[in-house]
């Protein structure tokens, strides 16, 4: 993310068109706003448009405007969103959902800095910087004939790929603290903090909804929390699946923790007495400690490859090494 922030700062100083690629909820609009605020256009308008939310029959008039009589119900001249962004930044979210015919008009606007309202013969000059975003693979859309190749290359002057939250777990704690601080102030409950169990659940969750899902989870927890700490029970049910809970959770944290959907019962494991297998009495932490030690030995102390096999970030691995008092091979 630091690399992305540096790239955003460099790109913001130019007027280049930017294409943001990333899953839903990764913060594409926040990056687009950051580009606008750091640009020479920061005093101009920032106009966000969710292309996927516009009806196909109205998208051209919404973007490019219309004149009186252009279609049924057009009782007067009206500027479109492109004109509203004149002197500023137009953010086209979900650009991959734009109809082919509208793509033709957008390309003309990008190439000539002109816009023609629906039903009008005259063109108007506009000074607009376009930032587009999508969760789709636009190269695949081009190959399938659903997206114009010339528009793709016109938009893709600078491409910024936003990684999903599950691939940058070291950010989860910082983001969670930021959202907790903001949500607790809005709820007039300053001083709320996470219990260790709640923090552990937040860090190990995969976040299919990315940053947006994390933010919503914190707002949910603040709304239902009863004491000065956010407990595991205060998080949404999907975070509290029993298979994710460590043994050390207290009674308040473990009450009513049934998952949102019923899970099949695990197959019965062969029984083994503590005498025949000493690990049968180990805690979860002891099992994790030995497993990390084995994986590190397998990779000869290489933290990067060990973290990749363990499915955690290098930052998380270093934290666990300190927690368990482990050293890499050769140290």
CATH code of the domain containing 188:
1.10.8.60
> Are 93 and 29 a contacting pair, CB within 8 Å?
yes
- The two tokens of residue 254 are 């473990």
Q: Give pLDDT tens digits for 294-307.
A: 888 887 788 877 77
Better-scored residue on pLDDT, 137 or 67: 137
Please report, for the domain that includes residue 53, its CATH number.
Answer: 3.40.50.300
Mean pLDDT of the chain: 83
pTM of the model: 0.66
Indicate if 11 and 159 belong to the same structural domain: yes
Please report, for the domain that includes residue 320, its CATH number.
Answer: 1.10.10.60
Give dist(CA 160, CA 100) in Å, integer.
24
pLDDT for residue 260: 39
Total number of domains in the chain: 3
Q: Give pLDDT tens digits for 65-102.
A: 887 766 666 666 788 899 999 999 999 999 999 999 99
Secondary structure (3-state) at 149? helix
pLDDT for residue 32: 95
Indicate if 158 and 207 belong to the same structural domain: no
> Would 267 be classed as within a structural domain?
no
> Are 72 and 88 a contacting pair, CB within 8 Å?
no
DSSP 71-120: STT--S-B--HHHHTTTSEEEEETGGGS-HHHHHHHHHHHHHSEE--BT-
Residue 126 has pLDDT above 90, yes or no: yes
Better-scored residue on pLDDT, 215 or 57: 215
In the listed set 254, 273, 291, which residue is the last one of a domain according to the structure? 254
In the listed set 123, 147, 163, which residue is the last one of a domain according to the structure? 163
> Are 142 and 173 a contacting pair, CB within 8 Å?
no
> Would 261 be classed as within a structural domain?
no
Indicate if 157 and 181 belong to the same structural domain: no
For 187-206, letters b (16+ CB in 10 Å) and e give eeeeebebbebbbbbbbebe
Residue 322 has pLDDT above 80, yes or no: no
> What number is the average pLDDT over the span 102-106?
93
pLDDT for residue 252: 41
> What number is the average pLDDT over the span 52-76?
79
pLDDT for residue 254: 39
Q: Give pLDDT tens digits for 215-274.
A: 999 999 999 999 899 999 999 988 876 443 444 444 344 344 433 333 344 444 444 455
Range of the domain at 293: 281-324
The share of the chain scoring above pLDDT 90, in percent, equals: 49
- The two tokens of residue 43 are 């005093």
Indicate if 250 and 288 belong to the same structural domain: no
> Would 262 be classed as within a structural domain?
no
Indicate if 43 and 106 belong to the same structural domain: yes
């Amino acid at each position: 993310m630091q690399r992305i922030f540096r790239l955003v700062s460099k790109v913001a100083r130019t007027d280049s068109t930017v294409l943001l690629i990333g899953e839903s909820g990764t913060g594409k609009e926040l990056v687009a706003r950051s580009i606008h605020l750091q640009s020479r256009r920061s005093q101009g308008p920032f106009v966000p448009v969710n292309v996927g939310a516009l009806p196909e029959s109205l998208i051209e008039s919404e973007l490019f405007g219309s004149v009186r009589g252009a279609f049924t119900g057009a009782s007067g001249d009206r500027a479109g969103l492109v004109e509203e962004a004149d002197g500023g930044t137009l953010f086209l979210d979900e650009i991959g959902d734009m109809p082919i015919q509208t793509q033709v008009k957008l390309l003309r606007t990008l190439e000539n800095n002109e816009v023609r309202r629906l039903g009008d013969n005259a063109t108007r000059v506009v000074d607009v910087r376009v930032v587009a975003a999508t969760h789709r693979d636009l190269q695949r859309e081009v190959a399938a004939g659903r997206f114009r190749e010339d528009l793709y290359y016109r938009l893709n002057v600078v491409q910024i790929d936003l990684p999903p939250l599950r691939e940058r777990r070291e950010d989860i704690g910082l983001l969670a603290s930021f959202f907790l601080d903001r949500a607790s102030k809005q709820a007039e409950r300053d001083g709320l903090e996470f219990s260790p169990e709640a923090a552990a659940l937040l860090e190990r969750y995969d976040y299919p909804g990315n940053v947006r899902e994390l933010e919503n989870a914190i707002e949910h927890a603040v709304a239902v929390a009863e004491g000065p700490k956010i407990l595991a029970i205060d998080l949404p049910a999907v975070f509290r699946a029993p298979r994710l809970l460590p043994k050390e959770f207290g009674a308040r944290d473990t009450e009513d923790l049934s998952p949102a959907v019923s899970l099949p019962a695990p197959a019965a494991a062969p029984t083994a007495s503590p005498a025949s297998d000493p690990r049968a009495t180990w805690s979860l932490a002891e099992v994790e400690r030995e497993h990390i030690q084995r994986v590190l030995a397998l990779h000869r102390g290489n933290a990067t490859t060990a973290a990749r096999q363990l499915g955690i970030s290098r930052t998380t691995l270093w934290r666990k090494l300190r927690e368990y008092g482990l050293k890499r091979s050769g140290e």
